[in-house]
Amino acid sequence: MVEQSDQAPLLDWEEIPPSDPNQAAPPPPAPRRQRDAAPGKSSPTAGQRPQSDTAAGPGWSSGGTAATTAVTITCGPAETVAAVVASRNGSPGRPHAELSARGWRRPDPVGTDRNVPFTGLSARDQWEEKDQIVSVFVVTFDTRSGNMVEWCLPHDMNLDGVEFKSMASGSHRITSDFIYFRKGCYFGLACFANMPVESELERGARMKSVGILSPSYTLLYRYMHFLENQVRHQLQCPGQYSPLEAFYEDKKAVLPPTGNGLVTACPTWSVTTINRCMHPEMKITHPAGCMSQFIQFFGEQIMVLWKFALLRKRLLIFSPPPVGVVCYRVYCCCCLANVSLPGIGVSVPELRPFFYVNIADISALETELSYVACTTEKIFEEKKELYDVYVDNQNVKTHRSHLQQLLRLNAADKEKYRKLSEQRQQFLYSQEVDGDCTSNEEDLFILFFMELNNRIFQTLSEVAGSADPTLTAEHVRGMGLDPQGDRSFLVDLLEVYGIDVTLVIDNLCCS
């Protein structure tokens, strides 16, 4: 029998020093020797599994983050760009290569998993974004008490409701999942697993979630694999928390004296920033292919979601478990409304990603003016006062009469979707034939909608500032909209953003 130790891993993390654009790249340091292991043998942490490049099911498995290429772009003060690319097929903690604007590439200095103190965290993840975790916790399902927080750090952290946020309703039907959620001013990520056991007390199944809280959701993705390994470890060895304790001590955030923080809204980028830095927030928030599958799932309905997102409506997405892939759809919906023009949108509600919500969030949603969220609880469909738009599978609907017309696709919507699909096909062809790796499908998606939004608001701003602030059918067509089919959308858009123009189309006038 192999004994499993509960000893905390060594905290030998390293920091990446700030890059000096005038200094030559240093040679890679010699790999460290393996400690406490027999020669020629590795010592993987219990519960570790190799990464796979195959996504399971219709979306992404909870291991999807391990199977995709993760890129972090760093822009220094002299506008130099350095990227660290994690392995697509390599084992955990073995990034394939390191790239920079100078064109050189070399193997990552960290050699194998034995040099990674926490299972599932690559060296890059350990080097960056320190001191951002405000809590780590374990949630379990008790046959007598239901969902409950089994353990947490810090011990005095208010985690009321987290036991339901991190274990979605209906999770007993699946074996694993991951969940993004909001808890007050923090964002959370939890990995869930369900393991059959021969125990009458547990009714044949042991279910747990291991999760973290952070002031921002953009760094949560990088800890996915670590949480996956830890929830399996908790299922196999309940009560052994030392790896989680060490993780928290090394990553814990230094909170302001009040303990309050601002909820981070969806990140926004300018076109210049995207072209130069490839929007690093996106790279650390979702796996590659997230938006590609979003487009394939909704098809032309994306143009309907785009209008509702730009109007800052309350969008609620229903789906049975697993809920992880639906959390990515929440994020993609938020990205439809990005505008990079200065001053646009400062007076409108932020489109906030709530991610997963349950009945315990009803009171919080009642006060929100704009959000995108997902749920596994069908009862929300009856709570019409909580949302403006309800999405069930690919079916987008609204109970608000003045929004009904926005559900109908017009000729301009179909043309925009055709252009998006055409650009995607051209991109995929150039990748396959020319081996073009300078951009990706996510860049294309974000730029497409950002440029579309910018064109609309640029035109509206110019008309509003002119001597004759009249918006004609020619203006509307120039924005890529349908003068008749998008009239209702334009009226709402002008009202929401407080733009003072007169809309005149075929003798129909409103201001």
Residue 57 binned pLDDT confidence (cut-offs 50, 70, 90): very low
- 467-510 pLDDT, tens digit each: 999 999 999 999 999 999 999 999 999 999 999 999 887 554 44
Residue 340 pLDDT more than 60? yes
One-letter-per-residue 3-state SS of 46-98: CCCCCCCCCCCCCCCCCCHHHCCCCEEEEECCCCCEEEEECCCCCCCCCCCEE
Within 10 Å of residue 473's Cβ, how many Cβ atoms? 16
Say yes or no: 301 and 432 in one domain: yes
Burial readout 361-397 (b: 16 or more C-beta within 10 A, e: otherwise): beebbeeeebbbbbbbbeebbeeeebbbbbbeeeebe
* CA dist 452 → 89, 310, 448, 474 (Å): 36, 11, 6, 16
Last residue of a domain, one of 201, 217, 251: 251
Last residue of a domain, one of 89, 110, 127: 127
Say yes or no: 275 and 364 in one domain: yes
Say yes or no: 158 and 237 in one domain: yes
Say yes or no: 71 and 173 in one domain: no
Say yes or no: 101 and 146 in one domain: no
What value does the mean pLDDT take over residues 20-44? 41
By three-state DSSP, how is residue 397 classified? strand
User: At 356, which amino acid appears?
Assistant: Y
Last residue of a domain, one of 440, 462, 484: 462
- 84-97 pLDDT, tens digit each: 333 333 333 333 33
By three-state DSSP, how is residue 188 classified? strand
Say yes or no: 240 and 285 in one domain: no
Beta bridge partners of 83: 73, 99
Query: For residue 443, what pLDDT is reported?
Result: 80
Say yes or no: 277 and 368 in one domain: yes
Query: For residue 52, what pLDDT is reported?
Result: 38
476 belongs to a structural domain: no
Token pair in block for residue 257: 């004296």
227 belongs to a structural domain: yes
Residue 235 binned pLDDT confidence (cut-offs 50, 70, 90): very high
Say yes or no: 174 and 277 in one domain: no
149 belongs to a structural domain: yes
498 belongs to a structural domain: no
For residue 372, the enclosing domain spans: 265-462
Say yes or no: 166 and 232 in one domain: yes
Percent of the chain whose predicted confidence (pLDDT) is above 70: 65
23 belongs to a structural domain: no
Residue 54 pLDDT more than 60? no
Residue 250 pLDDT more than 50? yes
Residue 354 pLDDT more than 70? yes
Cα separation, 499 vs 450, in Å, equals 19
Give pTM, 2 decimals: 0.70
Query: For residue 431, what pLDDT is reported?
Result: 76
Q: Decide if 100 contacts 320 (C-beta within 8 A).
A: no
Residue 400 pLDDT more than 50? yes
Q: Decide if 37 contacts 114 (C-beta within 8 A).
A: yes
Report angle CA 322, 324, 326 to the nearest 5 degrees. 90
Look at the chain and report how many structural domains it folds into. 3
- 418-477 pLDDT, tens digit each: 999 999 888 888 877 876 665 677 788 889 999 999 999 999 999 999 999 999 999 999
- 100-154 pLDDT, tens digit each: 333 333 333 323 333 334 444 544 444 344 558 999 999 999 988 999 999 999 9
Residue 237 binned pLDDT confidence (cut-offs 50, 70, 90): very high
158 belongs to a structural domain: yes
51 belongs to a structural domain: no
Residue 50 pLDDT more than 90? no
Question: Scanning the structure block, which residue is given the tokens 């938006």?
Answer: 291
Q: Decide if 300 contacts 237 (C-beta within 8 A).
A: no
Residue 367 pLDDT more than 50? yes
70 belongs to a structural domain: yes
Burial readout 422-452 (b: 16 or more C-beta within 10 A, e: otherwise): eebeebeeeeeeeeeeeebbbbbbbbbbbeb
Among the residue ranges 4-13, 361-370, 484-493, the one predicted with the least confidence is 4-13
Say yes or no: 93 and 150 in one domain: no
Say yes or no: 147 and 166 in one domain: yes
Among the residue ranges 53-57, 180-184, 219-223, 413-417, the one predicted with the least confidence is 53-57
- The continuous run of DSSP H or E covering 353 comes out as strand 352-356
Residue 202 pLDDT more than 50? yes
CATH number of the domain to which 436 belongs: 3.40.50.11500
Say yes or no: 99 and 145 in one domain: no
Residue 416 binned pLDDT confidence (cut-offs 50, 70, 90): very high
